[in-house]
Chains A and B, each alone.
Chain A
Amino acid sequence: MRQYNVHMLSLLVGLLVMLLLAACAGGAPAVAPATSPPAEVEEPQEMATEPPAVEPTAAPTEEMAMEGEAPEGTLTVGLPGEVNSLDPVEGSVEYVITIARQYTQTPMYLHPDGSLSPQLAESWEVEDDTTVLFHLRDDVTFTNGEPFNADAFEFSWHWSEDHPNGRNSRYYAAIEDIEKIDDYTVRVTVEAPDPVLLEAIAAWWFMYPPEYTAEVGPEGFSQHPIGTGPFIFEEWVKGDHITFQANPDYYEPGRPGVATLIYRPIPEDASRVAALQTGQIDIARNLPVEMVPQLEDDPEIEVYRELSTRTYYIMFNNLTTGAGTPLEDKLVRQALNSAVDRETIIDAILDGNAEINNSFIGQTQFGHDPDLEAIPYDPDKARDLLAEAGYADGFEIGMACPSGAYTKVREICQAIAGYLEEVGLTVELEMMESTKFWDLEATKDLPPLYFDGYGSRFLDPNTQIRGAFIPEEEYIEGSLPDEIVGAGSQWASWHDPHLIDLYIDQAFTLDQEHRRDVLHEMARYMQEEPGAIWLWQVHNFEGVRDRVGNYTMYPNDAQILWDVTVAE
């Protein structure tokens, strides 16, 4: 029996060793060698700021393609999160779009400043307020060999709009019709004039190969996508990496700049920074502000910074819990705007990495008025305004903040509450777990004051204004104007008919001069009748190793890596 037991023990140990061996056998992802034909490095395309003025790009010829160099090297990008799909229409996080942009394309190329240049469309004409005519390139094929043409354009619209799991289908929903004029010409008709339409098309209208997509269906496409882009999808090991290879038959010479592109999710900030420092990754997205000084000292790393489109504020929850409180008095709301020393908070808590906003319309966005001063810090004025409104002794008010949702939320909220108490208020501050916070925000059950931010995928404030200030109809008396029925947002806790009129005045016209004037007026009105305590926009940071060339950082979460190169 003893012999037997010894055998069993050694068997157990053996099992453990085998498990360990099995564990060690997991290999590194294989990286296939680049097999691209040589391509010439092209000058950056000319930007077209006004849509109709578009020069068609010359199609690359065989000769041109022979002269350049093949893409070389591997570029690895570290992302802070994982993606749920590779199909942009299913994306519930920004990184889906970021990643999708490398293999799939839209009619226009979207530059970091919001300007557009031709991509799959050689040119486009805005025929009137509701129709745009697209002239498509006739020399493009999807990487599975299917041709790109008007049929693919039309198919992509249907696919995206009717997608059973489409979280971004709304960008297509406003389209009334797509009319095929000939194989390479389509006319897009929208229901109502939309000033952000062209930018939305450039940012969102990804083209799908009709036969393949229909054959594999939504699930198949989300796991193995195909596009027209400079990179071809190769492999997705969930939670570990996503690999792309250069497209050897890509139609624009000089693109892409690297042979292999790898995305890796590294959720922990400190680990992502360590991976960047050790050269495991070449680009680290979304660096936390406290890691920036450490990286700036590293000679092999350059820190990029851009102002994010997200604008922060302390919202007044006047549709529900704020109703009947002193916050209904505009003098009180003005007082609160004067009571907060934004500059000191930015310097002390955010290391100076934020810019004060004069209203809800951010500095990165179209229609921002650079001549309008932000409401200055003036506690005496705040006290006077409160006294004038009849609250010389202050009042009690609740305030909530989404813990951990944004950089230094806790410290920022404590500081703001402190400033409000300095002018006589008694603030009951509540830090909430962020998902619970957003639930309560959507059902308007937060306290009268709450901290939040609103970003945009566009460099235009239109969707932001709607999202934060057009309320759902069930929460207001009467109804919304006809133009925006059903467009209410679950995040809006404010109802100001004049603000809504201003919004409508600029939301359904393509006249950018007029829009700019209206948005300037809106910003002034937002200081006079504040719907929130306007705060700031913060910088986003990315760390890039010095072997990376031609890299451009975008103000929103976009990223296009077609031209990026790496040195060995």
Chain B
Amino acid sequence: MQRYIVIRLLQGIFVFWGIAVIVFFMVRLTGDPAVIMMPQDATAEQVAEFRERMGFDRPLWVQFVDYAGGLLKGDFGRSLHWNLPALELILQRLRPTLELAAAGIVIAVTLAVPLGIISASKPGSIWDGIAQAVALLGQSLPTYWIGLVLILVLAVQLELLPATGRVGWRSLIMPAMTISMGAMGRLTRLTRSAMLEVLQQDYIRTAYGKGLRQRTVYVRHALRNAAIPVLTYTGVAFGYMLGGSVLIETVFAWPGVGRLAYQAISVRDFPLVQAVALFMSVVIVILNLVVDLAYGFINPEVRY
């Protein structure tokens, strides 16, 4: 297994490098940062001077060598907009994003798995219908809209929760609910279909034949075998949430990585866009590895 982990991490370095190259050249296709960063009443001369000071007048390959050299030394570059190290800015925003993603994934899993099981246990029943409807709504309603409706109902009308911001645990509830919706819907459907498939297997009949109660059969035999696709998707969804949701962070004024990335893109803060992309690629590579390793614990047939 150690060999497997080492190989995966080496692969991760290639992914990392590929992303570094792609992002570097892609952000430079978006245009000239000096035009956006300098105030409107700056003269053309002052804009040119800024461009030169930031090194954007140099040939692209020189800029790339400079950048790649920095990366090798662990230097993610310096944000143009904030004039601070890019990594420092990301780390400051990481905790709110972690909070939101963790709460979101917990809500999604704790709702979706029971819903999926109920739904699979009596396919075609009214409970199945309700669970499927909930899943469909979760997947199809735009998060932006859900967020605003939650604010209007829970904060403005009922005055139960703070409308925006990150002010104590109560302010986490609405954004976490919102961010969990899509994953919840998908996970419910995945759990349902995986359970339906497993419940038809011979070993389930055998388990019933041994006289085990339904609950035991479901938890010990069926759910564990149905867990692999669910776990895979949970990992993917968690990765997405960690990438930060621009819309949700914007609607709730949540100070996370998503809004930072969005802002970096909108002001053409090249070093920061690059740093966010690289940072998130590291997170996703590691997360995928953890999910893959978890398979082995759930299903002993999986070997590395």
Contact = CB atoms under 8 A, between A and B. Distances in A.
Nearest to A19: B102
A92 interface: yes
B32 interface: yes
Contacts of B37: 92, 167
A237 B167 CA distance: 12
A486 B100 CA distance: 51
A168 interface: yes
Nearest to B35: A442
Interface stretch (A63-71, A103-111, A265-273, A407-415): A265-273
Interface string A137-165: 00000000000000000000000000011
A222 B37 CA distance: 17
B156 A84 contact: no
Classify chain A: how many residues form its interface, as a range.
Answer: 35 or more
A467 B259 contact: no
A240 B168 CA distance: 12
A61 interface: no
B218 to A, nearest CB: 14
Contacts of A454: 40
A84 B83 contact: yes
Interface residues of B, number: 68
B30 A435 contact: yes
Interface stretch (A24-32, A124-132, A338-346, A499-507): A24-32
A275 B31 contact: no
A457 B167 CA distance: 34
Given A26-B166, A29-B167, A271-B148, A16 B250 contact: no
Interface stretch (A5-13, A49-57, A225-233, A299-307): A5-13
A455 B159 CA distance: 39
Contacts of A12: 294
B164 A266 contact: yes
Contact of A463 (B41, B96, B103, B167): B41
Nearest to A456: B41
B144 to A, nearest CB: 9
Interface string B224-256: 100000000000000000000000001111011
B83 A170 contact: no
A23 B47 contact: no
B165 A264 contact: yes
B89 A275 contact: no
Interface stretch (B121-129, B260-268, B276-284): B260-268
A159 to B, nearest CB: 15
Interface stretch (A360-368, A394-402, A488-496, A536-544): A488-496
Given A218-B83, A280-B164, 15 more contacts: A12-B294, A20-B106, A24-B169, A26-B99, A90-B83, A170-B42, A240-B96, A271-B148, A271-B164, A275-B163, A435-B30, A435-B36, A464-B41, A488-B45, A489-B43
Interface of B: 30-32, 35-47, 50, 53, 81-84, 89, 92-93, 95-96, 98-100, 102-103, 105-106, 109, 148, 151-152, 155-156, 159, 162-169, 172, 220, 224, 250-253, 255-256, 259-260, 263, 266-268, 294, 297-298, 300
